[in-house]
Amino acid sequence: MLSDIHILLTYQCTFECDHCFLYSSPFAEGTMTLRQIRRVLDESRKIGSVKWIYFEGGEPFLFYPLLFEGVKTARNMGFQVGIVTNSYWAISAEDAELWLRPLHELGLDELSISDDAFHYREEDNSAKRALSAAHKLGLQTSSISIQKPFAEALPGQGQDKGVPVIGGGAMFKGRAVDKLTAGLPRRPWYKLIECPHEELQSPSRVHVDPYGHIHTCQGISIGNMWQTPLSMLVQEYKVQSHPICDPLVKKGPVALSKQYDVAHEKEYIDECHFCYLVRRALIDRFPTYLAPRQVYGYEANK
C-alpha cells in the first residue's frame, strides 16, 4: 500500500556527487512549479493511504519559497512532511537557524541531511551546522552518510563464502555506475536474480519528478501524472503489464536481460549495477518506462 510520496522538487543541485543516482548537478534541468506541487498533493490525498510527503532533489533549498509553500500546503492537508537536503545554506550557525526556523514553525516533521565526504571534507561544515541548528529548534533529524565503495569482504571471506561484500552505502545506479565501480569485486551475472531494494510489485513509496514521471525506482516510470492523474496511475498499476518491472519481479536483472536479449558482461558488482546497465541499453526501446534520460547520464529531455 502506497504510504510515501517523494517529490523531486528539482534535479538541480549545488553538488555533482559521484554517487548520485539521479545525475543531479548545478546544470541539471527540471524544477517543479507551485501549481504542479499542489497537483501532486491533491492527487496524493485522493489515494487515501499516503501519510508522508518528502521534498528532495537535487537540492530543494535552491528554490526555498517553493519549498516553503509546498511544506505549508502539505502540512495543512494533514500530511507528515520531510525534507532531504545537503544543507549548503548553513554557512553559519545563525544562518542555519534562519533557514530552518520558518519550516519548523510550519510543523516540519523530519529533516534528513547529507553529511559525508562526497559533500564535505572538513569537520566544521554546513551539515554539522544544520544538524546543530535543527537540534536547537527541536526538529527531528537524521544524517545520510555515504562513503566511497570498498570491499568489506572478498569471496570466501564473508558470511556467504561465495559473495563479495561491498561497503560504503552507495547504490550502483546513476553516476555511481560511471564513477565508482572501478576495482570492485564482482559476481556472476546469472546469480543476480532479484531486485533487493525496491517493492516493484506493490510499492509503498514512489518518486514524482518535475517532468511528471512516477518512479518506482529512479529511472523506472509507471506513468506520467501530467498526462494521467497520479491517483489513477497508482490504482491501475499492475506489475504484470509493466515491461520493465514484471521481469525484474520474476527474476531480477537476469530476467530483464534475457527477455529483451540485451548483451551483457560476465560479472557485475550487484543487482543494481546489472539492472541499471540493462535499462540504459533499453532506454530507446522503452522511452515511456525508462525516463527521464538524464538519470541515465544522457542529455536531458522530458
Mean pLDDT for the stretch of residues 207-232: 98
Closest CA to 2 of 52, 39, 37: 52
Closest CA to 26 of 34, 16, 17: 16
Q: What is the pLDDT of residues 139-190, one digit of tens each?
A: 999 989 888 888 876 555 555 556 777 898 899 999 999 999 999 999 999 9
pLDDT at 165: 79
pLDDT at 74: 98
What are the structural domain ranges in the chain?
1-146
> Cell numbers at residue 260, please?
529483451
Dihedral pair phi/psi, residue 277, rounded to 5°:
-70, -35
Entry field: residues in the chain = 302
Q: What is the pLDDT of residues 108-140, one digit of tens each?
A: 999 999 998 888 887 789 999 999 999 999 999
Plot region of 215 (φ>0 → left; ψ -120 to 50 → alpha; else → beta): beta
| CATH fold of 1-146 | TIM Barrel (3.20.20)
Q: Percent of the chain having pLDDT more than 90? A: 86
Mean pLDDT for the stretch of residues 274-281: 98
Q: What is the pLDDT of residues 13-46, one digit of tens each?
A: 999 999 999 999 999 999 999 999 999 999 999 9
pLDDT at 75: 98
pLDDT at 162: 61
Q: What is the pLDDT of residues 190-217, one digit of tens each?
A: 999 999 999 999 999 999 999 999 999 9
